Amino acid sequence: MANIATGRIQRELKEVMNSDEAIKNQIKIEFPINDFSKLQGEIIGPPDTPYEGGKFKLHIEVPETYPFNPPRVKFSTKIWHPNISSVTGAICLDILKDQWAAAMTLRTVLLSLQALLASPEPDDPQDAVVAQQYKEDHDAFIKTAEHWTTVYADGSAKNQNLEEKVRQIVEMGFEETCAREALSLSCWDVEKAIENLMS
């Protein structure tokens, strides 16, 4: 990686560690393998959202052309959100594509992702199924997003009713992850979920 980018990333990591904003918003970045092009980020789900209190890990790849091109970022923690793929973690966010500017930083990216959790854009989805649920059955969307936050992101809002539905399907011989995804896709209707798993 070019020295210019490495120097800038080192400054940006310090900025994330030392800024009051980062501490208040609970965002962080680490470079686990002593390689400034492969970073790990973490954001905490914002208050008053279905993601509240969840710890969401991010995989951040910084290109050699940084800061003139955006970092490639995806969620490594599973999340139920219209603008983030529930399967791959890919993100639909303009500043990670054509709205990137060289003045932006990794801190900007993390804070923008946190803002995206608070204000989804279902009309510009990354995950069409989640976006459809968000628009057509918002209660089911909230329930599912909270449930995924609890299960995958160490959130605290355990919903015993939903756990019971997962257990019902697991007892039929299906894997827990498959059961959870089938229920999420069928708005927590057990019969529909089983139909989907059988077809």
Distance of alpha carbon 61 from alpha carbon 11, whole angstroms: 17
Q: Summarize the confidence of residues 87-104 as an average pLDDT.
A: 95
- Measure CA 121 to chain center: 14
* Residue 128 near residue 154, CB atoms below 8 Å: no
Query: What kind of architecture, by CATH, is found in domain 3-118?
Result: Roll (3.10)
User: Edge to edge, what strands does the sheet with 55-61 contain?
Assistant: 27-30, 38-44, 55-61, 72-75
Q: Enumerate the β-bridge partners of residue 75.
A: 58
- Nearest CA to 5 out of 98, 57, 76, 68 is that of 68
Lowest mean pLDDT among 30-34, 66-70, 73-77: 30-34
Q: DSSP labels for 47-91? A: TTSTTTT-EEEEEEE--TTTTTSPPEEEESS---BTTB-TTT-BB
What pLDDT, on the 0 to 100 scale, is given for residue 2?
53
Q: Which pLDDT score, from 0 to 100, does residue 36 have?
A: 79
> For the packed helices 106-118 and 3-18, what is the interaxial angle rounded to 10 degrees?
50
Helix axes 190-198, 160-170, angle to 10 degrees: 30
List active site positions.
92
- Residue 44 pairs with which residues in a beta bridge? 55
Listed residue (94, 183, 168) closest to 133, CA to CA? 183
Q: What pTM was computed for the model?
A: 0.86
Q: What residue spans in the chain does CATH classification 3.10.110.10 cover?
A: 3-118
For the chain, percent of residues with pLDDT exceeding 90: 74
Strand partners, 28: 42
- Per-residue pLDDT of 132-184, as tens digits, reads 999 999 999 999 999 999 999 987 666 788 889 999 999 999 999 999 999 99
Residue 158: what pLDDT?
A: 66
Q: Kindly report the average pLDDT of the chain as a whole number.
A: 90
The Cα 61–Cα 81 span in angstroms is 22
